[in-house]
Amino acid sequence: MKFYEYMGYELIEKIKNKEISIQELIEASLRRIEESEHLLHSFVNISKEKALKKAKLKDKDLKNGKAIGKLYGLPLANKDLICIENYPTTCCSQILQGYRSPYNAYVIERLVEEEGAIHIGNTNMDEFAMGSSTENSCYGPTYNPWDISRVPGGSSGGSGASIASGQAILALGSDTGGSIRCPASFCGNVGLKPTYGRVSRYGLIAFANSLDQIGTITKCVYDSALMLEIIAGKDPLDSTSVDIKVDNYTAELNKRIDEKIIGIPKEFFGEGVDREVENTVKKTISKLESIGTKTIEISIPHLEYTVATYYLLCMSEASSNLARYDGLRYGNISENLSGDVYDVFSRTRGERFGPEVRRRIFLGTYALSAGYYDMFYIKALKVRSLIKNDFTRAFKKCDAIVCPTMPSTAFKVGEFIEDPLQMYIADILTCPVNLAGIPALSIPCGFDKNNLPIGFQIIGDYFDEKGILNIGYQLEQELNIYRKSAPVIKGGN
């Protein structure tokens, strides 16, 4: 029995019906990691002994009739910037090597402590979530399970690869400008970026506070809906989390969508979108029409300004957030230092931060500096308001917006690492969602000539996660490709 070929909700039923044990499932997950990790490098640490111990305890509780939570011991992979108590959390940066969090993030409390998922390890990522390929990690790159010569996307690439390869059943990521949806698209997974404020960011190590949002990467839409039911809601420890009713997302999935109006933004199919991606997404839109939805053309006129606006804002916020990592307040101090405090700070930061993080700190500091603050940062905030207004107007005409998730399929490892501008442009279809603060879902909709997955993005109005999950689920069932496994390894359990 190949456990990794089952969806999370199916494994829950098998555990409930005593067809399998939680221990068997965790052992199979750890075995799968052993078989494939040398090819993928999805994880930066693995919690083998603790996971097995928890599995045995949960099986015992289940046998004794005790409640063990909604997730019944499913293996959970966690991005290495979401804090777990007394567990290494490094953001894949040398400056945080050896750091162990003194507390659990809100989402860990909900998924692991309350609802019974079993944490099996932390996944690789671009350092401090700055990147779209998971090549900017102090631990080295992660590789795509569909083709190990290619990137898995980023910055949550380790989480994406772990799900696509069957190493884990559920995964957590964070999305600042597409960092969940990009690896979901490149790895053929379902990636959900909730509305800003829908999920508490308590315990998420910040990159850009006004853009960061914790979300999920799973094999199917149902599992994403189930996870969101658990992690959504107001958290008194996060003032940006919103006290709005959490819907029963799984119950909404089967609702009919034949009265939905779907907006097709003409700007999202322009120059720079790969022809195969565009054609596959347009065929998927036709599939939506065939199951009863109505489509209309809409416009997001300020799309051309989104990449510049996004990077000005996120780099400025990163410059401010990462100022605390100086070796004295937070982070590892460089060795053999002499001189004044400024020399200590500059050498520590210069040696411990990677090149992409340093680049973004420099650019963000420049944008915030005297004489340039109004010219760059304030102007970017004003353009952000225009982009928000574009989406607000669009949602007066339609229920959801659909487009490609990424303009291409996964590119080769090393192809753009020396060309950061080209890498930044790849976020053109995902970062507008973060600027507006709205929810978006990426599901696989097909494959290119190289058998690489193509992502289909469904964007919703504020706090309408149930709407995009409903559309995504109905389309997923119609396309029926979500069970196709990545060819990373043969066999296994």
Active site residues per annotation? 79, 155, 179
Each as own residue / partner, the long-range contacts of residues 420-427 (CB below 8 Å, 24 or more positions apart, any chain) are 420/356, 420/359, 423/131, 423/132, 423/133, 424/132, 424/307, 424/311, 425/272, 425/307, 426/132, 426/182, 427/132, 427/177, 427/178, 427/182, 427/307, 427/310
Q: Which of 201, 181, 204 is nearest to 242 (CA)?
A: 201
Tell which residue, 169, 190, 182, 56, has the closest CA to residue 130.
182
- Residue 153 is which amino acid? G
Strand partners, 412: 150
Question: What whole-number distance in Å separates Cα of residue 81 and Cα of residue 103?
Answer: 13
Residue whose C-alpha is closest to residue 162's, from 39, 62, 50: 39
DSSP-derived 3-state class of residue 175:
coil
Question: Pick from 295, 189, 195: which is nearest to 242 by CA?
Answer: 195
Residue matched to tokens 């400024």? 342
Nearest Cα to Cα of residue 192 among 158, 215, 212, 169:
215
Pairing between β-strand 400-404 and β-strand 261-265 as defined by DSSP bridges = parallel
Work out the widest C-alpha separation in the chain, in whole angstroms: 70
* R_g of the chain computed on alpha carbons: 21
Residues 112 and 106: beta-carbon distance below 8 Å? no
Provide the token pair at 112. 């692991």
For residue 98, is it left (φ>0), alpha (ψ between -120 and 50) or beta? Answer: left
| Residue burial 119-139, b: 16+ Cβ < 10 Å; e: rest | bbbbbbbbbbbbbbbbbbbbb
d(CA 132, CA 114): 32
Query: Residue 475: left (phi > 0), alpha (psi -120 to 50), or beta?
Result: alpha
